[in-house]
Amino acid sequence: MWAIADVLGDAVTSEVAAAWDEVYWLMANALINQERGLYSARGVRPETVWRQWKVEKKIRETHDVVTFVVKRTDDRLVKTSLPGQYVTVRMTMPDGVLQPRQYSLTRADDGEHRQFSVKRVHGDGDDPDGEMSALLHDSVSVGDILTLSVPYGDVVLDDSGRPVVFATAGIGIAPVAGMLSHLAKAGSALDITVLHADLDEPSFPLRRQVVSDVLELRRAAVYAWYEKSTQSMEPLNGVFQGLMDPTAVDLPDNALYYLCGPLPFMQAVRSKLLERDVAPKDIQYEVFGPDLWQADLD
């Protein structure tokens, strides 16, 4: 209301101010009610959303990705997660402002731990470095306490038994690593194809975990596309040079597709799949930010 008065100046008569006030509360109440609905759908009481976790491991994955393994600090039951969900990490920034950021869970639940992986966001030109990713990389160590929300997210693995194809780039592997971990833990016999794009093998985050889960699964394969060098030490099913072309490998019929990575990557992969007559409804995607993609699609 202060900003409205500041920008509109004298135009804000008491009648206009009352109208803005009414609209503000209409919108606020709509969102508050929607949030209440989300809590009750998940059986969560608002006071149990946030919980403290102790950093047990901080693992360097690649030059710009670290994985955090955190352990519960009390005896309360740990809310289970669905494959593909994320948690929100809440931290006080150096300027004193409390900030939330979302991070996909990269390993299946064990009742005690959560695991997530964070890519450092570098500034570009005048744009600053990412606030929370820098703080997590530089200032959070083993033994520190982090505040995490309960898991959430609606891009989750479909359990209909249809073949699944994952197409990811860079840190976009994170939710897929979580899904593969759930599948491996469940001893799944689902037909799984993992397609991953990166600069080169050392840049492929969570690579060892993903490859070992794929090996454990009975009907899974993993293919990589590397821009810089196709040198590989991992038992992959195929390595290609350049940008990902999902049609370069045999894709199963009637598959469900999950895409995660930068927007241009997802747009390019989606176009190739549509050319191959994959139905749009069979392509799901996770955007690591505000989902403005749909606006471009329609």
Please choose, from the candidates 172, 150, 165, 157, the residue with its C-alpha nearest in 3D space to the C-alpha of residue 82.
157
Based on CB atoms, which residue is closest to ligand FAD, 118 or 211?
A: 118
Q: How far apart are CA 126 and CA 265, in angstroms?
A: 25
User: Residue 142, exposed/middle/buried by CB under 10 A (0-12, 13-18, 19+)?
Assistant: exposed
The answer to whether 148 and 51 have CB atoms below 8 angstroms apart is yes
- Interface with ligand FAD, residue 114, by CB under 6 A: no
Residue 103 in contact with ligand FAD, rule: CB under 6 A:
yes
Among 119, 182, 196, 207, binds ligand FAD (CB under 6 A): 119
Q: Which is nearer to ligand FAD, 103 or 223 (CB)?
A: 103
Separation of CA 247 from chain center: 25
What's the Cα-to-Cα distance from 121 to each of 97, 128, 132, 133, 140, rounded to whole Å? 19, 9, 9, 6, 16
Return the residue of 131, 158, 216, 234 that touches ligand FAD, per CB under 6 A.
131
What are residue 169's DSSP bridge partners?
197
**Burial 259-286, CB ≥16 within 10 A → b, else e:** bbbeeebbebbbeebeeeebeeeebbbb
137 contacts ligand FAD (rule: CB under 6 A): no
Q: How far is the CB of 257 from ligand FAD (least distance, A)?
A: 18
If one asks whether residue 265 binds ligand FAD (CB under 6 A), the answer comes out as: no
Write out the binding residues for ligand FAD, residues 22-51 only, by CB under 6 A.
none
Among 37, 46, 123, 238, binds ligand FAD (CB under 6 A): 123
Can you read off the two tokens belonging to residue 58?
A: 């901080």
Residues 72-91 that bind ligand FAD (CB under 6 A): 86
- Exactly one of 67, 81, 133, 149 binds ligand FAD (CB under 6 A); that residue is 133
List the one residue out of 234, 231, 211, 229 whose CA is nearest residue 221.
Answer: 211
The site map against ligand FAD for 272-291 (x = CB under 6 A) is: --------------x-xx--
What's the CA gap between 150 and 51, in Å, rounded?
8
Per-residue DSSP letter, 103 = E
CB-wise, 101 or 221, nearer to ligand FAD? 101
- In angstroms, give the least distance from the CB of 4 to ligand FAD: 23
Q: Which is nearer to ligand FAD, 114 or 270 (CB)?
A: 114
Interaction between residue 232 and ligand FAD (CB under 6 A): no
Among 132, 156, 169, 224, binds ligand FAD (CB under 6 A): 132
Residue 121 touches ligand FAD, criterion: CB under 6 A: yes
Q: d(Cα 130, Cα 171) in Å, to the nearest integer?
A: 15
How many residues belong to the site for ligand FAD (CB under 6 A)?
A: 23
Token digits of residue 36: 């209440």
159-218 binders of ligand FAD (CB under 6 A)? 171, 174
| Closer Cβ to ligand FAD, 116 or 258, answer by number | 116
Would you tell me which residues interact with ligand FAD (CB under 6 A)? 86, 101-104, 116-119, 121, 123, 127-128, 130-133, 153, 171, 174, 286, 288-289
